[in-house]
Amino acid sequence: MSTFAASHLSPSYPDRAAWGTAPKLRAWQQEAFDLYFGREPRDFLTVATPGAGKTTYALRIASELLTRGVIRAITIVTPTEHLKRQWADAAGKVGIGIDPEFKNSQGATSRDYTGVAVTYAQVAMHPALHRARTEARKTLVIFDEIHHAGDAKSWGDGVREAFEPATRRLQLTGTPFRSDDSPIPFVTYEEDGEGLKRSRADYSYGYGPALADNVVRPVIFLAYSGEMRWRTRAGDELAATLGTPLTKDQLSQAWRAALDPKGDWIRQVMQAADRRLTEVRRHVPDAGGLVIATDHETARAYARHLRAIAGEPATVVLSDDPGASKKIKQFAASGDRWLVAVRMVSEGVDIPRLCVGVYATSTSTPLFFAQAVGRFVRARKRGETASVFLPSVPTLMGLANEMEAERDHVLNRRPPEDGLDDSLLQDANRKKDTPDVLGDELPFETMETSATFDRVLFDGGEFGTGAEVGSAEEEDFLGLPGLLEPDQVATLLRKRQSDQQAARRKQPAEPKDTLAPHERIAELRRELNGLVGAWNHRTGQPHGVIHAELRRSCGGPPIAQASAEQIQERIDLIRRWATQRR
């Protein structure tokens, strides 16, 4: 086996190479490759952001180990059936035969293959079999998304038993963090000075450095708020405005109403996403869109909406569909506009042409969110951007603002903060036939929903002043060019916000009798409290601290005694904070 083929492997393999990378390894891949062979370790954990090219890197190492005679066989362990085939396709193009159809009942595979691809669940079902195979030949085990090995105790135990005798183990992940206490097999944990054990990666390559290297696309998040009205099972009619301070129950119910395909909110957001996709396709002709849905029934309803909006059918991929892998492959090779998937994040929806996404699921764990956004960040050429539409929910807004945050898996941690619990990941990725129930809510009927453009989040900053769907202000952001460098995105967003603010200042003032003074002050207080809530989720600062800093900077009495003019001044200041990079 020669390393020549692997050395000419496209860094975005098995699809298209990213700008400026072929025919050699990307800088991070070469650095991690050199570090690996400088150490000659038995175990090596590589953490690289989704879309960075972990497959290319791992196959290059495998090829080199085969050439040197360090190993004679390869086992690739993946979370899903689809990823088994994806790895086999990738390996086959560089001369490494991998059997993705290997079954536990076979016991052995054809000698035409150098190794097999299996799932974590498959290993857990018969770890003794895989241990015997590992012991029979000097084996490299590649763990794709190794954090999945901690999803269930049986999985972790099975992986340890099966692959403890492996000659080499290469662990890969783009999201190495969990919030439960299930240790990830073969990962090293070290005490961090606070009595907690934290996972230690041998090499890390985060989203921030990858963006600076043009390895991944910049992600623009477009958040939508709106009015929701629903009827509870008890017959009570309730209403709430998404994007304003709400109780946990109000938020869960308003969020569920927003995602209900019977309401207008999701339809209006998908219309906006389709307009954005049309703009992107001016510069990226094969750009595609993905709607991440919660359950099968909803996914089919979303597809009907998209057919009416885009004028062509959307591909629907369901987790229990035996043809799901084939559909994903066909969509990836086509020029079709829209794909609707039920979660399917860990199932390997890895399609480099995806440029526009709609986050239409109620799952809000950091791990799931990172994996979902990871579907859109793979760069093929310089300047491509990704756009993700999402509801104005504080947890999601906070996660969007923390795209560059690096996390480790921590054991023996304190109870997780609200909204930061990844223990629902297994549920988030399993088959979904029926809608989720958020929190402890009871079934209810969505009465009426409508969407409002809220703001754009990019690179830790927030842009836009809120606008009606279909307005010129919304179109300013939907019409951003599809090819932009990260600094150009930030510059253009600042300019468009500045233009909007200038235009609003030129508009005739509203008649003074439009709102009574107490109504005007109440409205401004609601707006300020909403902005303070968003800043709290972005920075972690308590609400009282934020209000105190605003008062200190702007002067004036506490908010309860502040005039409309003084409250407006604080609103303007916190909006300026939001447009500045952290």
Confidence bin at 579 (pLDDT 50/70/90) = low
Taking the C-alpha atoms of residue 40 and residue 18, their distance in angstroms, rounded to an integer, is 29
Mean pLDDT, range 323-327, rounded to an integer? 82
For Cα atoms 22, 24, 29, give the angle at the middle one, nearest 5 degrees: 110
Helix (H, G, I), strand (E, B) or coil at 389: strand
Distance of CA 240 to the CA centre of its chain: 27
Whole-angstrom CA distances from 545 to 309, 402, 500, 552 are: 45, 21, 30, 10
72 or 494, greater pLDDT: 72
Q: What is the dihedral sign for C-alpha 242, 246, 247, 248?
A: positive
205 or 185, greater pLDDT: 205
Asked if pLDDT for residue 293 goes beyond 50, the answer is yes
Confidence bin at 170 (pLDDT 50/70/90) = very high
Asked if pLDDT for residue 513 goes beyond 60, the answer is no
Predicted confidence at residue 246, as pLDDT, reads: 82
Residues in the chain: 582
Confidence bin at 52 (pLDDT 50/70/90) = confident
Predicted confidence at residue 381, as pLDDT, reads: 84
Whole-angstrom CA distances from 551 to 526, 527, 555, 569 are: 16, 16, 5, 10
Predicted confidence at residue 473, as pLDDT, reads: 85
Taking the C-alpha atoms of residue 239 and residue 255, their distance in angstroms, rounded to an integer, is 12
- Per-residue pLDDT tens for 109-163? 998 999 999 999 999 999 999 999 999 999 999 999 888 786 556 678 899 999 9
Asked if pLDDT for residue 177 goes beyond 90, the answer is no
Give which of 224, 213, 211, 216 is closest to 581, Cα–Cα.
211
Q: What percent of the chain has pLDDT over 70?
A: 81
Distance of CA 383 to the CA centre of its chain: 20
DSSP states along 316-385: EE-TT-TTHHHHHHHHHHS--SEEEEES-TTTT---TTEEEEEE--S---HHHHHHHHTTS-B-SSTTB-
Q: Left, alpha or beta for 203 (phi > 0: left; psi -120 to 50: alpha)?
A: beta
Structural element, H or E, at residue 139: strand 139-143
Q: Are 353 and 375 in contact, with CB atoms under 8 Å apart?
A: no
- Per-residue pLDDT tens for 244-272? 878 888 888 999 999 999 999 999 999 99
Q: What is the dihedral sign for C-alpha 68, 73, 77, 81?
A: positive
Q: Are 528 and 570 in contact, with CB atoms under 8 Å apart?
A: yes
Confidence bin at 3 (pLDDT 50/70/90) = very low
User: Which token pair is 273?
Assistant: 């996403």
Asked if pLDDT for residue 8 goes beyond 70, the answer is no
User: Which token pair is 371?
Assistant: 């994996």
Whole-angstrom CA distances from 57 to 68, 91, 314 are: 17, 11, 33
Give which of 157, 170, 96, 95 is closest to 130, Cα–Cα.
157
Mean pLDDT, range 384-389, rounded to an integer? 93
Whole-angstrom CA distances from 114 to 96, 108, 127, 361 are: 6, 12, 20, 40
Confidence bin at 335 (pLDDT 50/70/90) = very high
Distance of CA 29 to the CA centre of its chain: 22
Confidence bin at 4 (pLDDT 50/70/90) = very low
- Give the contacts of 481 (CB within 8 A, at least 6 positions apart): 279, 282, 283, 492
Instruction: Out of 321-325, 384-388, 408-412, give the one with best mean pLDDT.
Output: 384-388
Predicted confidence at residue 254, as pLDDT, reads: 92
Predicted confidence at residue 508, as pLDDT, reads: 62
Give which of 527, 514, 513 is closest to 562, Cα–Cα.
527
Mean pLDDT, range 445-460, rounded to an integer? 89
Q: Among 113-122, 411-420, 459-468, which stretch is predicted with the lowest mean pLDDT?
A: 411-420
Confidence bin at 527 (pLDDT 50/70/90) = confident
Predicted confidence at residue 18, as pLDDT, reads: 36
Instruction: Out of 406-415, 475-484, 491-500, give the one with best mean pLDDT.
Output: 475-484
Predicted confidence at residue 484, as pLDDT, reads: 82
Mean pLDDT, range 373-402, rounded to an integer? 88
Residue burial 120-132, b: 16+ Cβ < 10 Å; e: rest: bbbbbebbebbbe
Predicted confidence at residue 471, as pLDDT, reads: 87
Structural element, H or E, at residue 505: helix 486-506
Mean pLDDT, range 172-182, rounded to an integer? 67
- Per-residue pLDDT tens for 239-251? 888 888 788 888 8
DSSP states along 249-295: HHHHHHHHHHH-TTSHHHHHHHHHHHHHHHHHHHHSTT-EEEEEESS
Predicted confidence at residue 28, as pLDDT, reads: 93
Per the DSSP assignment, residues forming a β-bridge with 128 are none
Asked if pLDDT for residue 430 goes beyond 50, the answer is no
Mean pLDDT, range 97-113, rounded to an integer? 92
Q: What average pLDDT does the structure give for the chain?
A: 81
Confidence bin at 468 (pLDDT 50/70/90) = confident
Q: Among 21-35, 352-366, 553-567, which stretch is predicted with the lowest mean pLDDT?
A: 21-35
Mean pLDDT, range 309-332, rounded to an integer? 87
Helix (H, G, I), strand (E, B) or coil at 291: strand
Neighbouring CB atoms inside 10 A of 172's CB total 21
Beta strands (DSSP E) in 195-346 are 197-200, 203-205, 219-232, 237-242, 288-293, 315-317, 338-342
Taking the C-alpha atoms of residue 358 and residue 541, their distance in angstroms, rounded to an integer, is 29
Taking the C-alpha atoms of residue 573 and residue 576, their distance in angstroms, rounded to an integer, is 5
Asked if pLDDT for residue 407 goes beyond 50, the answer is no
Mean pLDDT, range 501-526, rounded to an integer? 70
Mean pLDDT, range 388-412, rounded to an integer? 72
